[in-house]
Chains A and B, each alone.
Chain A
């Protein structure tokens, strides 16, 4: 019994002792590993630094049994950079390795890598990333060693702009799985948002989109090639799907994309929230299975993409697609040297024979060239198209040259675009007109609520331009609205500006030709819903009208040469331009001896409706032999005479009526009928003569 009890006691003791030893060994082992890792932290840093050719710093290294190694506060610094931010900073990396592999083959094989909050300062260190992308890819291959590997990134950020408290960044959450049979699968989300940095903690403040962009990437490594079986993107009503292959340095993708209900009407956008919620509860959620060509959607199909990747250059050899039945081709390159050079050419109907394309009103040629260096870029944009009016086709070109543009990040997530100089030019046929803007500032906040708002101001000639624009990306074609004012610009400078507008609208007067002087002030606002509409007002103070057509005609008709040049105190008008009418309201001219007031309305079919009131001083009228007699018949002492007219009919052959006035009534009383008719015939001839000009 005693032996038995001795035996039965000794067994648990032995087990306990064994366990204690094992635990002690484990703890000791852990402590040894931790001590080893800590003591060799510098060696690990140096090893990694040698691998990346850059300084690597690790805050701390921990071993967590059984198979976790945790690295905290890792940063890779760039020796040649002036930026105070390191190219790569990672909050935490967890490496999970296989114990079985260590025991069996004495080989430390990483099976899973978990990155928490890696931060890439791509734009501060473009050269670093250019030089080390291949190294990072090789490192992943090395870690996988042909075995399954999972890489998970949580809240990875590519920083676009930052200040002391916040940054604007691309935020990505992704999972990548590489199987032993060379199959690659990755899925995740990408978002553009503002992140705040409060108490050393990064928090997501605002997002540019309602939902992040989701992607799925399925590929296979095939004898050095990457065969892309599926590449899908989804965000709200946007879907895109591609297939392709990456061979050596050449990427070929084919696919399609669509934005469902892109052309929603304004009324359909305004949904009843309550009913929508009920409906969403009752109806099953449709999961898009494939990209379809949708009526009422924005469809991009037959995408054929051929891109060549070189060390310093991404060559867009050919990106061809159909945008809602319109064939489009995009070609160009992105060069990544000391400066970033972007060169893009976009053309619609690129394969159409020249003789057909030259007359195709849907033909467009756009060119974009951008040169960026240290956050400042110069750019040149041009757009060639055909304008069809009254069965005529006229080649048009809009060009914009931007110099010294820089994007800054302000507090409250606001961004500021400063452009040192912009030259805007418009060519219509053989006519070329341009106007410059200097010191342009654009303040905007794209990461805000649904409605986006931007403010702008610039110097234009000797005056300035100031305004704001509002648009809503969720609404039909962005529903843009904007307002601006131009102040204190010399009117003679505005010839080209007015010409540019007149070419766009085909309605405004084009023959100013330096005939107007004075200081110009104007304001204009634009809205696109329910239909396109411009409204505003213009005024010129202390200027002159020199040989302006209407006053030349008046001077000839009344035989008063002084009317050919009118020095005025103020000329002003309100205006409205829509798709169907151009209207000048409250027209007003005040000169010492001439006054003009009235309205003028021109419809799309060139029908005019106008009422004008012309006041001419008696002194001026007396200089006319025609009026001397008439004035003698009425009242010699009145200081001025007012003529009220009504104009109507077709713009090029206007009807004219002299409206009732005291002067007219007095004349009618005095003049016999045959003289009235004689005068009327003379006026008729004069009116016809002005119509012919």
Chain B
């Protein structure tokens, strides 16, 4: 009986150590990627984020890494893979802070692909993201920084949304 209890204890110990190791590895990968991005080494950052996305589906860093992978694909004009990453992102993280920017990327890609119906649906998702009440201001501003160290800014006006990346206007959506 004692033996059995001993085996169970060892099993849980090994299992929890493995979990710690798992948590540590994805964290290491993420921070390694973020540091590489801060140093301007986006290729290395992509490798780290890509490993995280492929190996650690349940990681708390998965969301940021997935967005980073999409950003990288877009920057090298691999639009098919970028669309895949961003589509997965908006499918799983409808409340994420970077959701408007993932949608903006997809709108841009679909404009290139000439798929108006998809743009139509994405536009609606982007508008739905924030409900506005503008009494004294002209717009509401919304910012975030990505894992690839890009500064994102969304300006929600009453009848349009402006998306900026690193201070440059990336997409303007009228409705």
- A and B: bona fide binding partners: yes
Residues of A within 8 A of B (CB): 605-607, 609, 646, 648-650, 653-658, 664, 668, 671, 676, 679-680, 683-684, 687-688, 691
Contact of B135 among A607, A609, A658 (CB under 8 A): A658
Between A648, A650, A656, A657, the greatest number of chain B beta carbons within 10 A of the residue's beta carbon is seen for A657
A683 touches B135 (CB 8 A): yes
Q: Which residues of B contact A684 (CB under 8 A)?
A: 131, 133
Give the Cβ gap from A325 to chain B, nearest Cβ, in Å: 26
B134 within 8 A of A: yes
Give the Cβ gap from A598 to chain B, nearest Cβ, in Å: 14
* A604: nearest chain-B partner, CB-CB: B120
Q: Which residues of B contact A607 (CB under 8 A)?
A: 124, 127, 175
A656 touches B134 (CB 8 A): yes
B132 touches A656 (CB 8 A): yes
Q: Which residues of B contact A655 (CB under 8 A)?
A: 127, 131-134, 156, 158
Q: Which residues of A contact B54 (CB under 8 A)?
A: none
Q: Which residues of A contact B135 (CB under 8 A)?
A: 657-658, 676, 679-680, 683
In the complex the two chains form, what is the Cα distance from A680 to B132 in whole Å? 10
Q: Which residues of B contact A658 (CB under 8 A)?
A: 134-136
B159 within 8 A of A: yes
A646 touches B158 (CB 8 A): yes
Q: Which residues of A contact B128 (CB under 8 A)?
A: 649-650, 653
In B15-42, the 8 Å CB interface with A consists of: none
User: In the complex, given contacts A655-B156, A688-B131, what are 17 additional A-B residue pairs having Cβ atoms less than 8 angstroms apart?
Assistant: A605-B120, A605-B124, A607-B124, A649-B132, A650-B128, A653-B131, A655-B127, A655-B158, A657-B133, A657-B135, A664-B136, A668-B136, A676-B136, A680-B133, A680-B135, A680-B137, A691-B131
Q: Which residues of A contact B136 (CB under 8 A)?
A: 658, 664, 668, 671, 676, 679-680
Asked if A687 meets B133 with Cβ closer than 8 Å, knowing A609-B175, A650-B128, the reply is yes
In the complex the two chains form, what is the Cα distance from A609 to B175 in whole Å? 8
Q: How many residues of B contact A (CB 8 A)?
A: 16
Q: Which residues of A contact B175 (CB under 8 A)?
A: 607, 609, 648-649
Q: Which residues of B contact A688 (CB under 8 A)?
A: 131
In the complex the two chains form, what is the Cα distance from A655 to B134 in whole Å? 8
Give the Cβ gap from B12 to chain A, nearest Cβ, in Å: 46
In the complex the two chains form, what is the Cα distance from A648 to B132 in whole Å? 9
B120 touches A657 (CB 8 A): no
Give the Cβ gap from B139 to chain A, nearest Cβ, in Å: 9
A683 touches B158 (CB 8 A): no
* A683: nearest chain-B partner, CB-CB: B133
In the complex the two chains form, what is the Cα distance from A664 to B121 in whole Å? 36
Give the Cβ gap from A75 to chain B, nearest Cβ, in Å: 70
A650 touches B158 (CB 8 A): no
Q: Which residues of B contact A676 (CB under 8 A)?
A: 135-136
B131 touches A657 (CB 8 A): no
Give the Cβ gap from B165 to chain A, nearest Cβ, in Å: 24
Q: Which residues of B contact A671 (CB under 8 A)?
A: 136
In the complex the two chains form, what is the Cα distance from A41 to B158 in whole Å? 96
In the complex the two chains form, what is the Cα distance from A679 to B137 in whole Å? 12
In B123-157, the 8 Å CB interface with A consists of: 124, 127-128, 131-137, 156
In the complex the two chains form, what is the Cα distance from A676 to B134 in whole Å? 10
In B81-107, the 8 Å CB interface with A consists of: none
Give the Cβ gap from B64 to chain A, nearest Cβ, in Å: 27
Instruction: List 7 A-B pairs, Cβ < 8 Å.
Output: A607-B127, A648-B127, A655-B127, A655-B134, A655-B156, A655-B158, A679-B135
In the complex the two chains form, what is the Cα distance from A609 to B127 in whole Å? 12
Give the Cβ gap from A88 to chain B, nearest Cβ, in Å: 65
A657 touches B127 (CB 8 A): no
In the complex the two chains form, what is the Cα distance from A656 to B156 in whole Å? 12
A648 touches B131 (CB 8 A): no
A656 touches B127 (CB 8 A): no
Q: Which residues of B contact A654 (CB under 8 A)?
A: 131
B124 touches A650 (CB 8 A): yes
Between B124, B128, B136, the greatest number of chain A beta carbons within 10 A of the residue's beta carbon is seen for B136
Q: Which residues of A contact B120 (CB under 8 A)?
A: 605
Q: Which residues of A contact B134 (CB under 8 A)?
A: 655-658, 680
4 closest Cβ pairs, A-B complex: A684-B133, A655-B132, A657-B158, A657-B134
Between A606, A658, A679, the greatest number of chain B beta carbons within 10 A of the residue's beta carbon is seen for A658
Q: Which residues of B contact A668 (CB under 8 A)?
A: 136
Give the Cβ gap from B136 to chain A, nearest Cβ, in Å: 4
B133 touches A656 (CB 8 A): yes
* B160: nearest chain-A partner, CB-CB: A648
Q: Which residues of A contact B133 (CB under 8 A)?
A: 655-657, 680, 683-684, 687
Give the Cβ gap from B66 to chain A, nearest Cβ, in Å: 26
* B156: nearest chain-A partner, CB-CB: A655
Give the Cβ gap from B154 to chain A, nearest Cβ, in Å: 14
Contact of A650 among B121, B127, B137, B156 (CB under 8 A): B127
Contact of A657 among B121, B124, B132 (CB under 8 A): B132
Q: Which residues of A contact B132 (CB under 8 A)?
A: 649, 655-657
In the complex the two chains form, what is the Cα distance from A319 to B150 in whole Å? 70
B159 touches A646 (CB 8 A): yes
* B120: nearest chain-A partner, CB-CB: A605
In the complex the two chains form, what is the Cα distance from A676 to B133 in whole Å? 12
Asked if A648 meets B137 with Cβ closer than 8 Å, knowing A607-B124, A607-B127, A654-B131, the reply is no
